[in-house]
Amino acid sequence: MSNELTPIEHFNQGFASQRNQETLKKYLATEDLQDRFTAVVTRAVQEKPELLEADRKTLFYACQRAAQDKLMPDGREGFLNVYNTNVGTRDDPDWIQKVQWQPMIYGLHKILGEHGYSLTSELIYKNDYFKQHKGDDPRIDHEPTPINEERGEMIGAYAIATEKATGYKTREIMNLAELRQVREASKNPNGNVWQKWEGQMYRKAPAKRLFNRLALPESFTQVIDRDNEQFDLNKAPAVSDVAKSVQEHVRLAKPDPEVKVETKIPQDTSAELVEARDTDGKNQDRPVDAVAESAGLHQEESNEPQPNNPDF
Question: pLDDT tens digits, the chain, 312 residues: what are they?
Answer: 557 888 888 888 888 888 888 888 999 989 999 999 999 999 999 999 899 999 999 999 999 999 999 999 999 999 898 888 888 898 999 999 999 998 999 999 998 999 999 999 999 999 999 999 999 999 999 999 999 999 999 999 999 999 999 999 999 999 999 999 999 988 788 877 888 889 999 999 999 999 888 988 887 878 888 788 777 655 554 444 444 454 554 444 444 455 454 544 445 444 333 333 344 444 444 444 444 444 455 444 444 445 555 544
Query: d(Cα 299, Cα 115) in Å, to the nearest integer?
Result: 22
At residue 164, the pLDDT reads 94
Rg (CA), the chain: 23
At residue 259, the pLDDT reads 47
In Å, the largest CA–CA distance within the chain is 84
Q: Are 102 and 197 in contact (CB under 8 A)?
A: no
At residue 20, the pLDDT reads 85
pTM, entire model: 0.66
Please choose, from the candidates 115, 80, 149, the residue with its C-alpha nearest in 3D space to the C-alpha of residue 221. 115
Please choose, from the candidates 130, 131, 82, 77, the residue with its C-alpha nearest in 3D space to the C-alpha of residue 108. 77
At residue 98, the pLDDT reads 93
At residue 296, the pLDDT reads 52
Sign of the torsion formed by the C-alpha atoms of 302, 309, 88 and 295:
negative
Helices (H), the chain: 7-15, 18-25, 31-47, 50-53, 56-68, 105-114, 176-185, 192-196, 198-211, 218-227, 241-252, 288-294
